[in-house]
Every structure is written in C-alpha cells, then in structure tokens.
A and B are shown apart, each in its own frame.
Chain A
C-alpha cells in the first residue's frame, strides 16, 4: 500500500516549509540550482482509445508528418527553458543518464477533448454574414483538458529508485474560431492554436505559468494529499436524457471527471490525479532514460491511483432540457443538471461529504434554424458551461465559505451547514499543492 511510501516521503519533507502556488513572491526563495527535465507528452486514455477519445488533438499533432508533434515538443521544452528558474537538463531527443540526478521531471498528458461545430448553412446568408466569413467557415469551439504532472525521481543507486508525484495539475484550454468547412488542415490549425497559439490561456501558456511558479516554490520531496475522481455514474433516466439529446458521447465520464478536476484545482490548487490512469505516460517517461528497462520498472511500480488521499464520486442524477417559454421568434431553453457528489477520505475510510448539486440555466435561442446540429451544438455548449459553473461554484464556495457561490451550485443553507462546509474545506485544503 502506498501509505507507507507516503509516510516515508513525509519523513523526508523536512527540508523546509513549502509555499503554495500564488504565494507572496517577495518572500519566495529562488532555487537557482534546481534541475528539471522535460519528460514528454502522453495520452491519459488507453492506447487504442486515443483516436476515439482524443481524435482532434491526435490528428492535429500527427498532421503533415507529425509537424504538430515537433512544434509542440519544441514549444514545451523552450517554455520550460525560458520560464523555469533553474537548469533544464537534456534536450528533447537526449537520453537521460540513469546515473544522473534529473531532479524534477515535467510531463503533460491529454485527458479529454470536445470539438463542437455550429454548422452555418451556406444558403441564404445575408451580406453581413458573408462579410463575417460564414459562407466558407463554421463556428467552432474546442475544449482540451490536460494534466501537467511533476515528478521527483530518485534514481536507483544501490537501493532502488523512487518516483514521487509532486504535483498533478489539471488544466483546461478553450478556443473559439471560424474554421473552414471540411478542411482538416484548418481544423488542425485551430486545435494547435488552442494548444499552443500565441495567446493567453492555451495549454502551453498554462504550462509556462506553472513552470515559472515552480521555480520559486518547489520543494523536491513534498507530496500533497492527492485527490482523484474515482467514479462517474449515471442514473438510467439521466443517461437516457443525454442519449435523447444526442449528447451521450460528449457528456461522458471523462468530461465530468475533467471538469471536476479543473474546478477543485482552481479552487484549492489541489493536486488532482487524472481520472484515467494508463502506463502510456510512464512508458514515455521511461524511454527518456538511457536504462529504459530499469527505469520502466521504477515507473511501473508507481501506482498513481493508490496515491489519492481523497476520492470524488459523482452520480449524474437528472438531466433537464425543456422549453420554458417562447415567443414567435425565440425560445427560452431551461437546461439543468443534478449531480450527487460524494467525497471519500481514504485514510479514515469515511465519506466526508455527500450532497446533491443542482443548477439550472435558462438561455434564449432563436427559432427556425433548419439544421439539427445547430440545436445539438447549442445544447452541448450550454450544458458544458452549466456543468463548469456548477462545479467551479461549488469548490470555490467551499474554499471561500461563500454561501452565494454554494447556492449557485444548488447547496442551500438547509442542505449543508457552515460547519459541514468548514469540515470539507479542511479536508480539501490538504490537497493543496505544498500543504504537506
């Protein structure tokens, strides 16, 4: 069991107090000699599911003889070099010497993506729409969830090695753009722009931000109490509702887990272990070393699922989508979700919180579009934003003890007392990076 290893690591964590990310920079001590290695990118889904669950980013990176991969790897390595306040060892193609001390290893895994197109009919566009480029393009949205993971690696010198997951940060990047109709190259351009375009809030930008923060606050041996979404289940009626709306493939377990991971991370700076654990990233990391087999064994021995101190279990209880009002030209669509959330403390083998989150949002929608996809896309975007708001409100509300935010997530005063919220807050604070 990993508890003994965690205890061991805690024992080592006497080097100094660790400051959480976002701390007062003036008081931060630079770690000028810190060394870091870029470990690589992988997919947090099974290998044969990559083209099914993450087809857009996979295609974009593979496009044109893997030019995307090349640009992405260069991008993250250069970002690490320019943002990390320390030395970046080993280039992308160099093998890491198994006898060296690589310090921290950064890696990034793709968790979940959702690509939505609002198909704009070619016929009967007015001049304004044509001028806006809608004759040749569709309005496209893209969400990409990833996990940046930072490992501390103790190489096997005599008594075996040790890999410590220092921090696992889920990040979300989103893009909206006009994408040329039926043009894979332009779609890839849009995906790569969301991934690493020259703008804020891309995956690369978030990676850069973390790299620059790590340089002032990292402690090699600290390991927070990680949290992980353990299960996402659906009541049959909820699953049927998503199926009826033709959204079941989008609102899958990966989406719920990814949105929850980002929400808890953003509220508490929690270290969140990805919902799906595969050995793909570990293998990617292992082959970075000169002694692949030996390192492979070390990475294999690190069972990340066992690292979680807290588990989140979600049960999608109800899905609501109905026309709440309409006039001749517009409909007001009410969309809502009810999700049971349960948080489990592994150490004490106890459920520390178990409530129902509910949220309803009403949006106006112009009637008369002839394309079914237009309605699906609207539903997809609206339900996604609703889910994101609900979970962000919940975790932020717990973090700040803000009843208004909690109410936005459907937790009324009578549903959970301030004491209950404070207890949960205390638990989740333990997952804050640097809190160990």
Chain B
C-alpha cells in the first residue's frame, strides 16, 4: 500500500504543480516533497481522525474483514465503505430526517435517488457529475467523503439520512474542530444540489456553505486549514445563484490557497494526493476562458504557464512510447470491461433524465458553462453502471461470470496503479518537463476514478447476488409498534 501511496502522491504533486503554478515556488515544492517522503511510511495504517462534535450518538462499525484490496477501499482515500471502520450516526427515524429537507416518497425513494444522483444532467454549481464531485480531491476528510460514497454505492433513505446527520453536527466548545465537521456539510451541499428537484428549501445550500467556511484541523497540521471544496462550491454558488462576482472572486481565491504541510501526519489523505481540487481547476480555467473579472484569471493562468515554462526550460519531454501503449491497453480494457458489465446489467431499466427545463435552469446552465463545466467521458461511462438498477443474478453461470468480471476489474485496478510508476520516477528525477507529465497524470487519475465507480457497481451486483435478507417471520418489533399507543 505504501508503494501505491508514494506513487500516487508523486503523481498528484505533478498535477498540483502544473495546475497551480502561480501559487507555488520551488522552495515550497521541495519542502513538500521532503515532507511527503518523511510522512508517507508512517501513514501505512489508517489513522483515527479527531472526534467531531456531534449531536447524535456515533458508533463505529467494522464493515468488512479489514482487507484492503484496491485504492477504492482504502480509508486513507476516503473509500472505506467496504472494508474498514465506518462511523455511523444513530438516527431514530431516517425517513423523518430525510423528509425534513427533501420532498421524497419513502416508497419510491431508491428510484428517485438513483435517477437524480446519477442524472446525465450536470448541476451547474457542482460543475461536474455528482459521482465525480464526491470523489474530487478538493475534499480532505475521508470520513466526510465516505458517506457520499456510501450513498453512491447504495442510494437509500438510510444512507441519505447519514449524510444529513453528519451535516447537522455542530461545533462543540471553543476548540477548532476537525475539518470533517465542515466537509460533511459540503457533502450535504453536493447531495442537495444534485437532488435540487426535490429539495424543500433551496436556501439551505447557501446557509450550509456559510456554516462551513471556517478553518479546521486536519492531519495534525500545525496551522488549521480551509476545505477547498467548501470554498469552490461557495464561489460557484455565489456567481450562479446570486450573480455576485465579488464573492465568487473571494471564494475562488481562498479555494486555491496552498496548504503548508508542517507537522502533517496524514499526508495521504490530503487532497492533492487524490487529484487535487478538480472543480477548483475547472472553475479557474473556465473563468479565465470566459474573461471574467476583466481577464484577471486569464492573466493568472498566463503567469502560471510562464512560471512553468521558466521552471522547465531545457528539460526533456516525457514521451515514453511504452507507457503510452500500456495506458492505451489499460484504458481500452477498462472500456471493454465497462461495456461487458453494462451489458450484463441490461435488464435494468434506464432512468429518465432529471428534468432541467425552464428559463431559470437555462440561465443557470449558461452561467455554469462560463465558469467551467466538465463531463469526463470515462466517469460518465462508469456512472452509467451505477445509474442502472443493481441486477440480482441467480443463474450460476452468470454468477460465475460476475465473479470473473470482478476479478478482472481488480486486476485492471492493479494495472492502472502500475501506470503511476513511470510518471513518479520521471517526476522524482526532475529531468522532465512537468507539462508533458500533467496530461498523463490526470488521465491516469481519471481512469482510476472511473475504475473505482465501476468497481462499486460491480461489487454491488456481486453482493446482491449472494446476500440474503433476514428472516421475514421475525417481526416482533413491528408488532409491538402496531400495538403501541
């Protein structure tokens, strides 16, 4: 696992360097690299985050055998829904909690959630598909992210209630809370944006974001930090919902603040290691291309490019034909496997697209395009698997095929992981132009994300074909409920 983390860390640092050059200097970069080298081995085991303040009782549940098979299950990356420790809130009446915010019928909740969460329509404030946003590196806290991932894996009232319960946590006392507290609110905002057609009070988005724009502790860093995701969502909301360019500018600038890694003990969970804040990057790029703020952002980007050009002057291009072939092979195999799995899910009903008609929606979409909206084709492809209902396969032959496809997927994830190696070596050598590394690093990361999404869908199908429900004749609890006053 160490190897994987080191590889990924290095790769993602390249992205950070390339995407945010104007905010870096070489000294910072060197210090960061040193810090990573020191801290990664120490982080081999998952660390316990600081306990957040809470309103509800929280229990920790071992959700698997603790075996981490892929990066998609690694709690340090926020994907610990299968194996690892999952913190759950005691929610007495999940339906009532969900209905406090959403106009949702519990009978058809799963259908509604799946249709809206995996809609092909991109919410302009999110700027990307909801699964892509949940996996964005702009979220530091794995604990916060994991509830979004759980909802992604199984869209249900109970998982949505967990997202809400986490968002309703309040700061206790005068101490600076863990960033989980604020990023849990950001996760709620992401969910609420995607579920906007059934959101009862749209003002909750602005108020929840306001409550989360605070500094918090994370990974034992000396200085408290802000969540890039909280600020970039605030920026996009300010411009799209409120048409407030000044607020947009302030929040965008804050979202791009760099982290000082002093004393960090859990670097693996820092956002730059998971692709950096992708929504921040597309927002800045979109704003630059649209000439917003009198061309300020375009100027920043030009300065950054110039800085990179100066920094990489005379360095070799990374153009390994072998790496390109390996990437192409893995990418094609991923596409082939996705198609195969999708075909095996074919009996599932297609979900109607979420309605986004009306002048207001059109206006918002236009605003969204101005500041960057992206549709990653690999993620879209994998999201299609999540959008369709999870098939339950009872035929033994098909079951075996499902298990085989699952093993192939794990194999592919391993191969995807190996693609990081040469990129890491290239970066570490300091011999190559990071601009030639950047697109490759981003491609590998996008491929990794899409592989994780497809893995979630396949694991659900495999699980669905084996797991039995409890004895239906055990209904004493419900009988007592009916007999009660």
Contacts and interface: CB of A to CB of B under 8 A. Distances in A.
A91 B194 CA distance: 69
Contact of B483 (A121, A244, A356, A375): A356
Interface string A359-395: 0111110111110100110010000000000000000
A367 B389 contact: yes
Contact of B352 (A124, A322, A325, A370): A370
Contacts of B447: none
Given A366-B392, A379-B107, A336 B482 contact: yes
Contact of A338 (B95, B111, B483): B483
Nearest to A356: B483
B35 interface: no
A121 B349 contact: yes
A358 B347 contact: no
A377 to B, nearest CB: 11
A318 B111 CA distance: 26
A375 B107 contact: yes
B26 interface: no
B185 interface: no
B482 A370 contact: no
B365 interface: no
B467 interface: yes
A83 B79 CA distance: 73
A368 B349 contact: yes
Interface stretch (A70-78, A216-224, A326-334, A344-352): A326-334
A410 interface: yes
Interface string B454-465: 000000110111
A134 B260 CA distance: 62
B416 to A, nearest CB: 24
A320 B480 CA distance: 11
Nearest to A357: B482
Contact of A326 (B95, B347, B469): B469
B475 interface: yes
Nearest to B391: A329
Contact of B463 (A124, A327, A360): A327
B341 to A, nearest CB: 14
A379 B107 CA distance: 9
A343 interface: no
Interface in B412-471: 460-461, 463-465, 467-470
A64 B348 CA distance: 40
A412 B121 CA distance: 55
Contact of B350 (A123, A323, A325): A123
A329 B478 contact: no
Contacts of B350: 123-124, 370
A318 B483 CA distance: 9
A326 B348 CA distance: 18
Interface string B155-177: 01100000000000000000000
| Secondary structure type dominating chain B contacts | loop
A57 B346 CA distance: 39
A320 B188 CA distance: 29
A338 B468 CA distance: 28
A72 B84 CA distance: 67
Nearest to B114: A368
B390 A325 contact: no
Interface in B326-380: 346-352
B482 A338 contact: yes
Contacts of A322: 95, 106, 478
Contacts of B390: 328-329, 367-368
B145 interface: no
Contact of B469 (A330, A338, A360): A330
Most buried by B among A326, A329, A375: A329
B472 A321 contact: no
A295 interface: no
A337 interface: yes
Contacts of A336: 475, 478-479, 481-482
B157 A358 contact: no
A324 interface: yes
Contacts of A329: 389-392, 460-461, 464-465
B472 A363 contact: yes
Contact of A370 (B349, B464, B472, B478): B349
A328 B482 contact: no
A328 B460 CA distance: 6
B346 A330 contact: no
Contact of A330 (B464, B482, B483): B464
Contact of B110 (A324, A331, A332, A334): A331
A198 interface: no
Contacts of A327: 463-464, 467-469
B154 interface: yes
B15 to A, nearest CB: 34
B461 A320 contact: no
Contacts of B391: 329
B109 to A, nearest CB: 9
Interface in A377-427: 379, 410
A243 to B, nearest CB: 12
Given A123-B350, A126-B346, A358-B479, A326 B107 contact: no
A245 interface: yes
B481 A320 contact: yes
A360 B392 contact: no
Given A327-B467, A336-B478, 17 more contacts: A123-B350, A320-B478, A320-B481, A322-B478, A324-B470, A324-B475, A329-B390, A331-B110, A336-B475, A336-B481, A358-B483, A360-B479, A361-B475, A362-B472, A366-B392, A370-B352, A372-B107
* Closest 10 A/B residue pairs (Cβ): A368-B389, A329-B464, A328-B464, A362-B472, A329-B392, A360-B475, A338-B482, A327-B467, A328-B460, A360-B478
14 contacts: A121-B349, A317-B482, A324-B470, A325-B470, A327-B464, A328-B390, A328-B392, A329-B392, A329-B465, A336-B475, A358-B479, A367-B390, A372-B107, A375-B108
